[in-house]
Structure 1
Amino acid sequence: MDQSDLDCLPLRAINVGANGKRSFDKGDKRRLVEACLQPGVSVAGMAIKAGVNANQLRRWIEQHKAEQKDADGTMDAIESAPAAFVPVVEVHAAGPKAGAELPTVPEPLPVRTLQPPQPLPARLVARLPNGVSVELECSGQDATLVMATIEALGRCHVPARR
């Protein structure tokens, strides 16, 4: 966008009807719309600079694009892009021959139910003051055994060293 594009700003009304509707110079409108089509240009910002409603300017841009499309007979790159997902259909060139067997459908795989994961074993290591080391490897089902072992170890009295 160069300075010649901004010479038309703000747009000057060439006629104001009895109902208050303003008419603008077609060349100025075209330059404004083309300036809006430049990359990085804010349509709302240009509308404020031109002194027109942003929705009106967007309608002018859409009309301009439609006119360009009709004149060129081409579409924008976005509009002409192929669909992202295309259905795939298998087509056989010729039907099965007379007397030929149709392909068999494989049996479905058996459904397996997943078992909940087993908890990993816990490891309890206790080093007593008298140098004895106790290691326990247990699962969730051994909770009562582990509690009993801890209680028993707690009851052991080791005389303090002098």
Structure 2
Amino acid sequence: MTLNGMGLSGPLRVTKVLRNGKRRFDPVEKERLIDAALEPGVSVAGLALTHGINANQLRNWIRLRQRRETENALTAIPINVPPAFVPVVEAAPVARPPSTSARPTSPRVRLKASLPNGVRLELEDADTQVLSAMIEALGRCDVPAG
């Protein structure tokens, strides 16, 4: 019996039987069986039964091959790929900020918050803009109770 034109018929040829009873199969026939199992519409369990192996074993072989192909695809990176990171360059300041006496003074505030997960947050000597931004950010957080 030939399956899907792959030249597979009957049980897989065993090349070695270990002392613990485990069998080693012909690698060429094993690869053909995996190829046949990957064909659309093929029953992996039926294919395994036809060839005298456990269906879970065939599924493991398929999974191992797919993992190996994925790893090979990840290691095959083209040489002329530009770097993924962009260098950071520090720019010189354009102008000095106005002196502290020229700025309008805003009241300084102290904030202490204890979150449900046990995290404590303390913000001292902050102006109202920083405080409002912090409260808004804390309101957006969905912190699970710890």
TM-score, scaled relative to structure 2:
0.46
- If you compute each CA radius of gyration, which structure gives the higher value, 1 or 2? 1
TM-score, scaled relative to structure 1:
0.42
